[in-house]
Amino acid sequence: MKKWLIFSAVIMFTAACEPQKGWEITLNGKVGFPMAGGQIKLEKLGSDPEAEGQLITLADDYTYNQKIRIEEPGYYRLNFYDMQLVNLILDKSNVEVNVDGNDPNGFVEIKGSADMDLINTVQYMMSEAQNNPRMVELNTEFTAARSVNDIPRMESIQEEYMDLYQQGTDKVADLLKQQGPSVAVINLLSGAGVLDRERHFDLYLQVAELLKKEWPDYQIAKDFIEEVDKMKVLAVGQPAPEIALPNPEGEIVALSSLRGKYVLVDFWAKWCGPCRKENPNVVKMYHQYNDRGFEVFGVSLDRTKEDWLQAIREDGLVWTHVSDLRYFNSQAAQDYNINAIPFSILVDPNGIIVAKNLRGKGLQDKLAELFDGA
């Protein structure tokens, strides 16, 4: 009996001495127009909607200065009286947030957040790149060329515009490469992001590896690492995942059946305007290079066979077509992580991905390089 009591005491002592998860930071600031009887709450975004959040106490002089506990870096929101909501990123730095408090679109000022500062810096860099005087000129020139349907001139302008835009995004990538693990970097690279994932894939890999080492237990890091792992599947140099779906006659056709040729795997649909606009270019390239070893494998994300076949006829798409008519729930769309179209990859005769999302002049130039040595 005594042994059991001693053992129980050890358990209780161990539990009591177990270190508390997370850390404390200080939130402070001033509310210009507080509301009597209202509450200020810190809420964790993405958490249980029923969670109460941490209450913030406002002093008589309309200021607050309060320690709060953070379990991991992430997205939070300061809720001022259910009137003004301020999204912010919290990590290990103390943060100052000054607001009006009584207006959803009122004054807000955030100080001390390195994450918010980095996001603001990148937004400024992107705005500066897009407002480059030469890019403004190119927009005007493009409008003039389009008014007279001068397609060669439009393509030339687009090429110069993208070169200038990429110079701007390259500077952003260089800045992010210098950062340690942070919610801001994850934010800027996740989802649509501000960078071309293919052009800056090395940065995604670098950040994922850094997060594995330094933030292995944080959910926001795990989600980003999972996202990058999915990107690896479709990285240039990787084998293209197999696709085996019915053709219009109901026969299963596999992508691998086209081995020995360069194949453009083209995800498209009747309802996709940009896809339909690109189709004439693909048709032109198909007829120019088909007899030299170029094939197109069209994967439709249409919902009905009638729409699928109508678009094939209208656009003169004479190549191989497959679809399970399941929209974005298509097995191929799931395997290729498709969340928007048009999307395409170019695979070599061995089924290895050699390029992605080639359209317009980009597709023309790549095929000329492969078949003409241009």
3-state secondary structure of 125: helix
* Predicted local distance difference test score (pLDDT) of residue 48: 61
Q: What is the DSSP secondary structure assignment for residue 132, as one 8-state letter?
A: -
Strand order of the β-sheet with 95-99 is 63-70, 23-30, 95-99, 108-111
Tell which residue, 182, 199, 227, has the closest CA to residue 90.
Answer: 182
Task: Name the band, by pLDDT with cuts 50, 70 and 90, for residue 50.
Answer: low
What CA–CA distances, in Å, run from 150 to 147, 153, 275? 8, 5, 21
Q: Which residues pair with 265 in a beta bridge?
A: 297, 345
pLDDT exceeds cutoff 50 at 5: no
How confident is the model over 173-195, as pLDDT tens digits?
999 999 999 999 999 998 667 88
* Predicted local distance difference test score (pLDDT) of residue 52: 66
CB burial of residue 82 (10 Å; 0-12, 13-18, 19+): exposed
* Predicted local distance difference test score (pLDDT) of residue 334: 92
What CA–CA distances, in Å, run from 309 to 53, 55, 264, 269, 285? 54, 59, 20, 10, 21
Under 8 Å between Cβ of 86 and 97: yes
pLDDT exceeds cutoff 50 at 16: no
* Predicted local distance difference test score (pLDDT) of residue 47: 66
Report the run of H or E that residue 162 belongs to, with start and end.
Answer: helix 151-177
Tell which residue, 27, 178, 172, has the closest CA to residue 91.
Answer: 27
Task: Name the band, by pLDDT with cuts 50, 70 and 90, for residue 1.
Answer: very low
* Predicted local distance difference test score (pLDDT) of residue 195: 87
Question: What percent of the chain lies above the pLDDT cut of 70?
Answer: 92
End-to-end CA distance of the chain: give it in Å, rounded: 88
* Predicted local distance difference test score (pLDDT) of residue 130: 83
Tell which residue, 62, 108, 65, 104, has the closest CA to residue 88.
Answer: 108
d(CA 121, CA 182): 15
pTM, entire model: 0.74
What's the chain's average pLDDT?
89
